[in-house]
A and B are shown apart, each in its own frame.
Chain A
C-alpha cells in the first residue's frame, strides 16, 4: 500500500529502496576490500610471511586467513570459501538472489564441467559441496541415468556437451558448449535486470568473453567450424565480426575492433599481436574496464548496482590476493606481480 503511494514520488525504480538491507550489509563488508595503498604494501612485502601479516590486519580477510596454513592450496581454498559464503549470504535475500545469480551461475557451470570431465576421464566424480543444487542427482545424470531429475538448464548443458564431445572427439568442445550456455544465461540476465547499468555490464561481459575466445582460437589455431561452438548472437559482437576476428591477419584485427567499438581494450595503442602475454595484458584491461563500469555506482544508497559491484570487486580482490600471496610464496619478482594485479574498486 505504502509502496504504491510512494512510487510516483520517488525517482527511479520503485523497488530500489528495498535493496537497503543488502546495501547496509555490503557497506560493512566493503571494509574488507583491498585498496590501492594496501595492495601496494602487499606487493612491496619482502616475503610471504610479511604479506601474510599485512593481510591479517585487514578486517574480515584477516579472520578468513587466520588459521590457514601458509601454502597456496589452503590459501586458495580459504579465499574461495570466503567468496562463496558472501555470494550465498546475498543469494539468501529475496532480491539478492537475482543480483548474485551471475556468480552462482559461474560457480555452477564450472562445477558441472568438472563433473563431466571427471566422468569422461573415468575418474571418480568425487565429493561435491552441498548447495542449492542436488549435485548427486546431476552426477547420476552424467553417469547415464537418463530418468534422473535434473534442472532443465543442466540437462540441456550435459546433453549438448556430450553430443559435441562425440562429434569433435575433443574435450575442449565441452568447455566451449558449456561456456556458450553460460554466456546465453548472462544475456538472459541482461534482459531481465531492471538496472540499466547491469544490462550494459552483462552485454559488455559477454562481448569481452567472446573476444577473448576469438583471440585464443587464433592462438590455438582452431578451425572456424570448431569456434562456432562458442559463438552466440549478442548485441555487440556480430557473427561476421567474430569470424573475421578469428581469420583476419593481425593488422586487420585492429580495424575490426575499432568497428565493433572495443579497440580500447587492446594494449599498446592497438597494435595487435598473436602473443599470449599481449592477450594477458588485454585480459587485465578488460577486468579493469568491467570494474570501472561499476565504480561510479559504488556509493549509491539504493539499487542492485552497489551489491553487484561489491561482489565483482570481491571477485577481483580474490584474484589480486591470489596473485600477491602465491607470487610471494613462490618468490616471484615484484614487477611481474605488479603487471598482473588488477585495479581496486575503491581508490
Chain B
C-alpha cells in the first residue's frame, strides 16, 4: 500500500512541478519583453499583461492534474483508497503527458508571447491576431491535460 501511494504522489508532484516550472519560465520570458515594451510605452499595459499571462495556464493544468490524482486516491476528504505498486506506477505514468508537455509548451509559449509582444509594440493594431499565435501553443497543453485525465480515468483502483 505504501509503495503504491509513493508512486502516485510522485506523479502528482511531477504534474504540478514540471508544468509549473514551464509556466514560470514562460511567464518570465514574456514578462521581460513586456517590461521592455512598457518602459517605452506604458499605455500598452493591457495587452502586455494578457500576453504575459498566456503561458501561465500550463501551471494551472498541472495543478488540475495533480488534484485529480489526489481526488482519485481519496486523499482530499473521503476515505483513502488502497493502491498497489502497479496501480501507483500507472497513475504516475498517466501524469507524465501534462508534466512534460506543460514544461516544454510553457517555455515555447513564453517565447512566442515575447515575440508577439514585439509585434504589438510595433503595430498596436495587430493585438487580436498577435494573441492567436501563442494561443495555438496552448492547444497542445490542453491536449496533454486531456490525455492525462483520460489515462487517470481508465485506471481502476
Q: Could you list which residues of chain A lie within 8 angstroms of chain B, going by C-beta atoms?
A: 2, 5-6, 9-10, 17-18, 20-31, 299, 301-302
Contact = CB atoms under 8 A, between A and B. Distances in A.
Contacts of A23: 33, 36, 114, 118
19 contacts: A2-B24, A2-B28, A9-B104, A9-B107, A17-B111, A17-B114, A20-B32, A23-B36, A23-B114, A24-B39, A24-B117, A24-B121, A27-B33, A27-B36, A27-B37, A27-B117, A27-B119, A27-B121, A27-B122
Contacts of A31: 121-122
Contacts of B39: 21, 24-25
B150 to A, nearest CB: 26
Interface in B77-124: 103-104, 107, 111-112, 114-115, 117-119, 121-122
Contact of B33 (A6, A29, A301): A301
B21 interface: yes
A24 B32 contact: yes
Interface string B59-74: 0000000000000000
Contact of A21 (B32, B115, B121): B32
Most buried by B among A28, A29, A299: A28
A6 B29 CA distance: 12
Q: Which of A17, A20, A22, A29 has the most CB of B within 10 A?
A: A20
A5 B21 contact: yes
A20 B21 contact: no
A148 to B, nearest CB: 38
Given A5-B21, A6-B25, A25 B114 contact: no
Nearest to B104: A9
Interface of B: 21, 24-25, 28-30, 32-41, 103-104, 107, 111-112, 114-115, 117-119, 121-122
Contacts of A299: 115, 118
Contacts of A27: 33, 36-37, 117-119, 121-122
A299 B122 CA distance: 11
Contacts of A17: 29, 32, 111, 114
Nearest to B34: A24
A25 B37 contact: yes
B122 A301 contact: no
Nearest to A346: B122
Nearest to A26: B36
Contact of B36 (A2, A9, A10, A21): A21
Q: Name, among A6, A9, A21, A24, the residue most crowded by chain B CB atoms within 10 Å (CB to CB).
A: A24
A23 B107 CA distance: 18
Nearest to B40: A28
Contacts of B119: 27
Contacts of A30: 121-122
The 7 lowest CB-CB distance pairs between A and B, nearest first, are: A24-B36, A301-B115, A20-B32, A27-B121, A28-B40, A24-B33, A27-B118
B32 to A, nearest CB: 4
B70 to A, nearest CB: 25
Nearest to A22: B36
A8 B67 CA distance: 29
A6 B37 CA distance: 24
A17 B29 CA distance: 6
A8 to B, nearest CB: 11
Nearest to A300: B115
Contacts of B122: 27-28, 30-31
Given A9-B107, A17-B111, A18-B32, A24 B21 contact: no
Given A25-B39, A28-B40, A20 B33 contact: yes
A18 B114 CA distance: 11
Q: Give the most central of A23, A27, A28, A302: most B CB within 10 Å.
A: A27
B107 A301 contact: no
Contacts of A28: 36-37, 40-41, 121-122
B107 A25 contact: no
A2 B35 contact: no
Contacts of B112: 301
A82 to B, nearest CB: 14
A192 to B, nearest CB: 23
Residue in B25, B29, B115, B118 whose Cβ sees the most chain A Cβ within 10 Å: B118
A17 B33 CA distance: 9
